[in-house]
Structure 1
Amino acid sequence: MNIKPSHVDIGVLFGEKTIFTVPKYQRGYAWDDESVADFISDVSVCYSRRVNNNCMEHFLGGVLSIKSDIDGVANAVRYQLVDGQQRITTLTLLAFVLCENLEELAALVEDDDKDIVLRIEHHLLRLRKAFIVHDQVVNRIVTPANVLTLSKKDEAHFRALLAGRDPIAVIDSHVKLSASLMQLKKYISSVVVEVDDLSNKLDVLERFQDVLLIDFSVLHMVAENKPDAYRLFQVINDRGVSLTDGDLLRVKTLELLEGHGVEQDAAELIWDDILSDKPSRTYDYLQWIYESYAFKRARSGALADVYMEQFFGRINHELVNKKDARFILSQLEKIRSDVCTCRSIIKGEWVFDDQRPVTPWDRTRLRSLIVDLGHTLCVPLLLAISDSGHVKFRDVVLMLERSFYRYKIICNEHVTPLKSLYYAESQIIRADTKSYKVQSLRDKLNDLLAQRAPMANFINGLLGLHYQAKTGGNKNIKHLLMMLDSYGGWYCNGANGNPACLEGNRILDFGETSIEHIYPRNAKAADIDPEMEERKNSIGNLTLLDPEINSSADNKPFNDKRDIFKKSSIALNVKIGAKRVWNVKSSTNYERDLLAMAKLIFVA
């Protein structure tokens, strides 16, 4: 990697013939109010020190660029900003605010006060040439050149601001640009207004100019080529705003499409959609998608690089033809489609249209798996199987819910073997999606369960479940009881074949359904059974009830609740209601029945 760093003050960085450009499809201006407030705080500290004749250097961090000469212009340099546009843009806005204040001061100066007029004109010329626009002789023709050109989405708004206009903000980066300028104006004006004499006001503005040109410095890292620059780009953060792998991928793919306008414009819209979520969420989506196709996790800090290799590796980056451009666009469409699928999966929303034989109950299992059990580790596998149709997708979801509950929730086994299994199965699915048989996954899951979470361990884990009074501490119990209820019909009919819910249109809402103690949790003195007190919070004394029913049954003795149980739509409760009494023996038998059901249900 050939990077040439130099520590320079801003006055040197913004030389007389220097031009900065932000890549056309780079992300927009991103500094929020807090970031600009921090910048202003730095300005204020340096300014105060100059007032006290104790000036100081203030380091603003690193700026990374790619250097190139400007055709037809002697000794002129163009820097393409790979990282640092937030700082460079904000420094330019500060220079513009100083120019505005100098112009306002010039309008107040008397004609005979030539010294002040000359000073103002000198500073205005220096700031405008360094930060706003300067003349270049291009092939013997004097041509104005903008010192800083922003990305395609921000340039027109930025140019309007520097022209003193008040443009309408169309997108978030426009809002941030206008807000940053307003903050800077407000700050500089608040300092200038504190002094009355014109000469003193000019002194104030000169101090601010010295802060900008002399006190502020950066580490300017200059790369000779894009690969080196973008490799370093991945490990650098803009002040206050983290650079993301999504941002880098956007730049890399759109630059590949230079010269292919139609495809490039379409790709830009695709990236706008892909990157519309919070950066952390987008990173999750991109990581899961990569895992689903590469069958491994991207190494730390290298997601953008491995994406380019995985999805665009066949492209000659030095010579992209029309066929290549269309391929790049098709790959981006695929990535966007998978991002949309991830968005649905992570919310537990079924990713297919409602169609048989998948039932309403089947569709709720995705939410149970991802949201209630929190099993996002399986998203890459679900992405792979989603291309096989709604029936296979359903079968995999059902298997994963039962297996994960047993393997991790109850037996608390390490997820690494499970993750490896998912990668291996994703590879099999991707190799031949149409003919893939879900029995392949079922066999592997059952083998893993037998090795890592054997049935004896699972049963012991269930026996260790106890109701807790604190809110949210009983999800595992509720999940168990809901699953036993859902698969109860299949179990009672002989438990033939793979576990299945026979009442697909009947759905219990996890959030609304509540756990009920059969023998009351807080029995009245006259109803206390000392033996049951010892086991009242175990699964042998717990069931499910509708919240409204639960309220009416709360803490009543069993005899007062028998009719409620008999009339319940939950099969477990009907059996409970058939009991004459509820004591240790009946509770033990009930527990034995639950465990017998669990043994047959919680397999892949």
Structure 2
Amino acid sequence: MVTAQETTLQGLLEGTRQYLVPLYQRTYSWTELQFERIWDDVCQLARDRADHPAATHFIGSLVLAPSPAMGSVGVAEYLVVDGQQRLTTLTILLCAIRDHLAEHVSPKHRLRLDQQYLTNPFEEQRWLKLVPTQADRDAYVACVKSTPQAGGDNAVGRAYRFFAKALDTLGAAEEPITVQQIESAVITGLALVAITAKPGDNVYRIFESLNNTGLTLTQADLLRNYIFMRLPNRGQAVYESLWLPLQQRFTPTELVLLFWLDLVHRDPKVKQTDTYSTQQARLEKLRTEADVEAEVQRFSRLGALLRVILHPAEEHDPAVRQRLERLSAWGTTTVYPVLLHLLDRRDQGTATSEQIAAAMLYLESFFVRRLLIGRSTMNINRILLAVVTEMDRDLPVHEAVRKYLSTGRKHWATDASLRALVRTIPFYLNGRASQRSLVLRWLEESHGSKEPVALEKLTIEHVLPQTLSEEWAQMLAADLDTDETPGEAHDALVHTLGNLTLTGYNSELSNKPFAAKRTALAKSGVQLSRDIADRQRWGRSEILTRADALAERIITSWPGPTEESGNQSDVPWDVLAKALAELPAGSWTTYGDLAALIGTAPQPVGNRLANHPTLNAHRVLQAGGIVAGNFKWLEPGRTDDPRDVLRAEGVTFDQHGRADQAQRITVEELAQLAGITPEELPERAPRPGPGQGGTYADRFIEQLTARQSPAVTTAVLVLLEEWTTLGGTLSYGTGGETSCFLMARRREHELGSIWPAVIYPGGKFEVVFQHLSVRTPFDDVTLREELRQRLNQLPGVRIAAAKLTLRPGFPLTVLADADAREALLDHLRWFYDQAQLDTPDEADLI
């Protein structure tokens, strides 16, 4: 049974009372958003009470339970089961009011407010009215005692600073109110319902029923709460010696990760959202406090290991540290379960540092080789989560990891497959930009140069440029295959590993002929680039020769699978099928584009489509937009003209039977459809403007200036300035080519972030329809279509309707025309206005 009574802060705090926040409660975590809301409520209430002194404002409930330690006389002690965030905030506000009145009105207010509402002045042991959790206690005591530490860099301190500042600015408000009016509103005007349990009630069960949805508490919070409910006698000691250090070592998200990783060791199918319920079911079987305490000790030990994974610099063994640093840089968190297992094995004495370093090298090789053959993401999560439970426990741990990754269809490329596919797979279109850059950096490091270069500052350079000029077309023409055009050869070669290097000489390279590039590359401190400078020309034979040399270096640096490796198709036909299945109506692609996507030649693609039923195969044409002469339907008896089918789908043909090139889906766009190029995301902290406040902004401008003409560079900077003037912000990508995102909403917005376009220094204004398709309000296709039509009004811009789910773009040179730039700004203003939608009131959602 519980009792409920409406009360005020005065009713709660007057008298000799103490409110204890139990260990199973989360730490104080309100932010400025909540501070602003409660402050606005208090200010409005103070204004209302000027005319209606009895006015009140209801702010919620407070669930209390008598403390098990409370006797029949003395301080009335209560546990705060629910509502501690609100109660803590209001007492911090009282501290700020007290200090303001003591400084600006009279020192007597300090003693008055302390003795009435903040302390029990005649109780040495229970002098605080409110006792927060241990983690918040020092900061809270500093506020109550008004020491120099009050207002520190923590959640309690931030609350105190917010209210102190707000009180200082009261007189400047449009409707001035006094601090005394604020105090009265807080003490007697804010109404609460105090719900009090009876002695003997299971307090934690009440708490859990209020909070077990996981919406207000993290999975780690709920687990902590459950654990300390199970430790009525040992709770304080376990909290201070084990839990608090663990909690201080990690962020809330990292704590959830720790408890999930512990479960994944047993069952790789456990979802992170089920962490609390699964851990609780496991801990429910424990019978004694000693058993529960032992589990907390085990969590503490695993936490020390996870800390090393998250912060590799803390690892003592150099070889293990290097592997952890590399796997951390790779950015795949699903490797954490096996890494935790490896460190745990060493900690338990069943594996050596040498063995776990070798196992980590096999994992690194697994990632690198899969990326190199275009299979970086396929089933990667399932494979990695199952390593611990499925690997052979009778083998040394490094051999067990290698054996597991070698068997079945896990796409860990053999040496033979690697040698073949490195020549043809479009490496630059696979995986994340950061991962591609890492592979090239690690290859450069394998040379062991005695004069190391700051590789992290370099960007990936296409030696054969991404835009094919007449001079480069002539160079490629020297060794074309039969019936192959320079454009097809370019598509097949430009993104392969053999054509890529790292450089800081963007301004000297750009789209220049090879003779000019050689001169710049010869000056480079990067061995990968100097090797290219030794060549007299740069065509197919040179690119393939370099690919062969890089393949041998890769094989030496990253050992491959055992001989048990299963038979795996060298050509990723599944990627081709996925791209074609996603190819939208009203578009088409070529045999050469598909061949470049999967690292083969146009003829095998044609043979594949002619003999294997594949969805949308009729949308594959020859490079000039012509239906292949030997095209045939695989459906028996079907004889209709594929051009008629394509016309019905929306493809336009000219009088010569050639499909509109604007509707062609390129290699890069096919990669988007196949899902092998994850959308780059902006840096977490948006920048206020170009060149202000951070290295990414500076790098963007440096790269833009180096790669574009002064006219284009100036036009882009003018556009960015206008964008920020109308209210937008700028954020930057963290890849080798530093992109600039036009942010119409930030992450903190109630509808989430949104941006219409990304600008690349290499020369592309990319319209992110793919991103917009899942962002309010542009998840409405009619708005995306209006944006497309608006952009197509610009001179030189033609975006096909079939690309409304992709990331098409147009050259930055369009912006050099002042009229075109002003028109684009008008369209961006329209976009910005559309993105600033009001969210519905909570009342509208009930």
- Return the TM-score normalized by structure 2: 0.49
Structure 1 residue 267 and structure 2 residue 242: aligned? yes
Partner of 1:497: none
d(CA) in 2 for partners of 1:586, 1:103? 81
Structure 1 residue 303 and structure 2 residue 275: aligned? yes
Alignment map for 1:399-410 (pairs within 5 Å): 399-407=362-370
Partner of 1:561: 518
Letter in 2 for 1:511: E
Is contact 1:8–1:218 with CA below 8 Å preserved after alignment?
yes
- Which SS does the other structure have where 1:444 is aligned? helix
Q: CA deviation at 1:592?
A: 6.5
Is contact 1:20–1:148 with CA below 8 Å preserved after alignment?
yes
Partner of 2:333: 376
Structure 1 residue 531 and structure 2 residue 476: aligned? yes
Closer, same or farther in 2 for the Cα pair 1:590/1:6, shift >3 Å? Answer: same
Closer, same or farther in 2 for the Cα pair 1:308/1:392, shift >3 Å? Answer: farther
Letter in 2 for 1:438: H
d(CA) in 2 for partners of 1:460, 1:352? 38
d(CA) in 1 for partners of 2:428, 2:104? 75
Is contact 1:134–1:145 with CA below 8 Å preserved after alignment?
yes
Structure 1 residue 338 and structure 2 residue 318: aligned? no
d(CA) in 1 for partners of 2:372, 2:309? 23
Pick from 166, 175, 180 the counterpart of residue 157 of structure 2: 175
Closer, same or farther in 2 for the Cα pair 1:4/1:72, shift >3 Å? Answer: closer
Structure 1 residue 216 and structure 2 residue 195: aligned? no
Closer, same or farther in 2 for the Cα pair 1:34/1:264, shift >3 Å? Answer: closer
Partner of 1:490: none
Between the aligned residues of both structures, percent identity stands at: 16
Partner of 2:403: 443
Is contact 1:33–1:179 with CA below 8 Å preserved after alignment?
no
Letter in 2 for 1:231: E
**Could you list the per-position Cα deviations for residues 147-206 of structure 1 after superposition, in whole angstroms to 9, with x for gaps in the alignment?**
43334465576567556x545447735634643663575477889x968xxxxx8xx957
Partner of 1:498: none
For structure 1, which segment, 373-382 or 58-67, has the greater mean C-alpha deviation from structure 2 after superposition?
A: 58-67
Pick from 189, 201, 204 the counterpart of residue 227 of structure 1: 204
d(CA) in 1 for partners of 2:398, 2:451? 25
Alignment map for 1:156-555 (pairs within 5 Å): 158=140, 162=144, 165-166=146-147, 168-169=149-150, 172=154, 175-176=157-158, 178-179=160-161, 182-183=164-165, 186=168, 205=180, 209=184, 212-218=187-193, 220=195, 224-232=201-209, 234-235=211-212, 243-247=217-221, 249=223, 256=231, 258-259=233-234, 265-267=240-242, 270-271=245-246, 273-275=248-250, 278-292=251-265, 295-300=268-273, 303-304=275-276, 306-307=278-279, 314=286, 316-317=288-289, 320=290, 327=294, 330-345=297-312, 349=313, 351-354=315-318, 358=319, 364-371=322-329, 373-386=330-343, 387=346, 388-407=351-370, 411-412=374-375, 417-427=379-389, 436-449=396-409, 463-465=424-426, 478=437, 511-519=456-464, 529=474, 531=476, 534=487, 535=490, 537-539=494-496, 542-544=499-501, 547=504, 555=512
Letter in 2 for 1:149: V
Closer, same or farther in 2 for the Cα pair 1:294/1:510, shift >3 Å? Answer: farther
- Which SS does the other structure have where 2:288 is aligned? coil
Closer, same or farther in 2 for the Cα pair 1:556/1:237, shift >3 Å? Answer: same
Closer, same or farther in 2 for the Cα pair 1:48/1:596, shift >3 Å? Answer: same
Q: CA deviation at 1:342?
A: 2.7
Q: CA deviation at 1:484?
A: 6.6
Letter in 2 for 1:539: T
d(CA) in 1 for partners of 2:120, 2:136? 17
Letter in 1 for 2:248: D
Q: CA deviation at 1:384?
A: 0.7
Q: CA deviation at 1:80?
A: 0.8
Letter in 2 for 1:23: P
d(CA) in 2 for partners of 1:377, 1:246? 19
Partner of 1:117: none
d(CA) in 1 for partners of 2:99, 2:438? 66
Letter in 2 for 1:279: P
Partner of 2:89: 90
- Which SS does the other structure have where 1:79 is aligned? strand
Structure 1: gaps of 5 or more residues: 110-119, 137-142, 196-200, 487-500
d(CA) in 1 for partners of 2:127, 2:237? 28
d(CA) in 1 for partners of 2:539, 2:103? 91
Q: CA deviation at 1:44?
A: 1.2
Partner of 1:10: 8
Letter in 2 for 1:369: L
d(CA) in 1 for partners of 2:433, 2:235? 57
Closer, same or farther in 2 for the Cα pair 1:187/1:134, shift >3 Å? Answer: farther
d(CA) in 2 for partners of 1:463, 1:370? 29
Closer, same or farther in 2 for the Cα pair 1:339/1:440, shift >3 Å? Answer: closer
- Which SS does the other structure have where 2:45 is aligned? helix
Is contact 1:61–1:218 with CA below 8 Å preserved after alignment?
yes
Alignment map for 1:7-46 (pairs within 5 Å): 8-10=6-8, 14=12, 19-23=18-22, 29-32=28-31, 34-46=33-45
Q: CA deviation at 1:353?
A: 1.9
Partner of 1:115: none
For structure 1, which segment, 525-534 or 30-39, has the greater mean C-alpha deviation from structure 2 after superposition?
A: 525-534
Q: CA deviation at 1:381?
A: 0.6
d(CA) in 2 for partners of 1:561, 1:596? 24
Closer, same or farther in 2 for the Cα pair 1:476/1:172, shift >3 Å? Answer: closer
Closer, same or farther in 2 for the Cα pair 1:418/1:399, shift >3 Å? Answer: same
Q: CA deviation at 1:297?
A: 3.5
**Could you list the per-position Cα deviations for residues 254-283 of structure 1 after superposition, in whole angstroms to 9, with x for gaps in the alignment?**
6738458766542255235324xx433443
Closer, same or farther in 2 for the Cα pair 1:403/1:307, shift >3 Å? Answer: same
d(CA) in 1 for partners of 2:135, 2:552? 63
Partner of 1:80: 79
Q: Which one has more relative contact order, counting CA pairs under 8 Å at least 6 apart? A: 1
Partner of 1:113: none
Partner of 1:50: 49
Closer, same or farther in 2 for the Cα pair 1:274/1:527, shift >3 Å? Answer: closer
d(CA) in 1 for partners of 2:206, 2:438? 51
d(CA) in 2 for partners of 1:408, 1:380? 21
d(CA) in 1 for partners of 2:472, 2:382? 53
Closer, same or farther in 2 for the Cα pair 1:556/1:289, shift >3 Å? Answer: farther
Letter in 2 for 1:40: W
For structure 1, which segment, 437-446 or 54-63, has the greater mean C-alpha deviation from structure 2 after superposition?
A: 54-63
- Which SS does the other structure have where 1:60 is aligned? strand
Letter in 2 for 1:172: N
Letter in 1 for 2:311: S
Is contact 2:13–2:118 with CA below 8 Å preserved after alignment?
no
d(CA) in 2 for partners of 1:430, 1:42? 62
* Structure 1 vs Structure 2 CA RMSD: 5.7
d(CA) in 1 for partners of 2:439, 2:182? 71
Q: CA deviation at 1:334?
A: 0.1
Letter in 1 for 2:539: N
